[in-house]
Amino acid sequence: MSIFSLALLPLVGLLIGWATNKLAIWMLFHPKEPINIFGYKFQGVIPSRQASLADKIAEIVSSKLIGDGILQAIQENTDFQDTLIAQIMQETKSIVEENIGLLGAIMLNQLEEKGVFDETRARAKIMLHEGIQTLSDYLDIKALVMKNIMEFDLDELEVLVRTIASQEFKSIEVLGGLLGFGIGVGQGLLLLILA
């Protein structure tokens, strides 16, 4: 066996390792529509499992990332509550003044002096707390996330995944090439030993 043949083994191994990993990454997304090859249905992993992936991602988002915890955080955030209630109170005052004029301004001053606004703020906090609880009962974050993922066009989904994992995909391709090169070196050494 010539030196050229032995040197060629690692290079061919590198090419095969890189190409197979590149093909495997491509096959995550393609073909987008199922095709039959010798009686076997074949489709890219992500297109064929979009619903399952959407379900798993939605489960993670709803239970680990957002879920009821975010609504509870809003309930416990007094700064948020105070700011929201102050904005509502200010908007209410503006509406009264705009629609009733001077009489409205006098009426607002009287209400302020009698503590009606303080009582309104206290009741608004209770209503906000109850509203967030009601929202928590009706808001199905998992279903919303899953619906949004299922509505993704497969091309958009591919761009999204490739954007997120582009560095990892490149590393997989390089690693495949290095493994192929290593296997080629091993084959060359084995041939030298056996010769």
pLDDT digits (tens, 9 = 90+) for 23-69: 999 999 999 899 988 888 889 988 988 889 889 988 888 777 776 67
Instruction: Specify whether the CB–CB gap between 6 and 191 falls below 8 A.
Output: yes
The lowest-confidence range among 17-21, 39-43, 113-117 is: 113-117
CA 150 to CA 146: how far, in whole Å?
Answer: 6
pLDDT digits (tens, 9 = 90+) for 121-134: 788 888 887 887 77
CA 52 to CA 61: how far, in whole Å?
Answer: 14
183 pLDDT above the threshold of 90: yes
Residue ranges per structural domain of the chain: 3-32+46-194
Q: pTM for the complete prediction?
A: 0.61
CA 116 to CA 50: how far, in whole Å?
Answer: 55
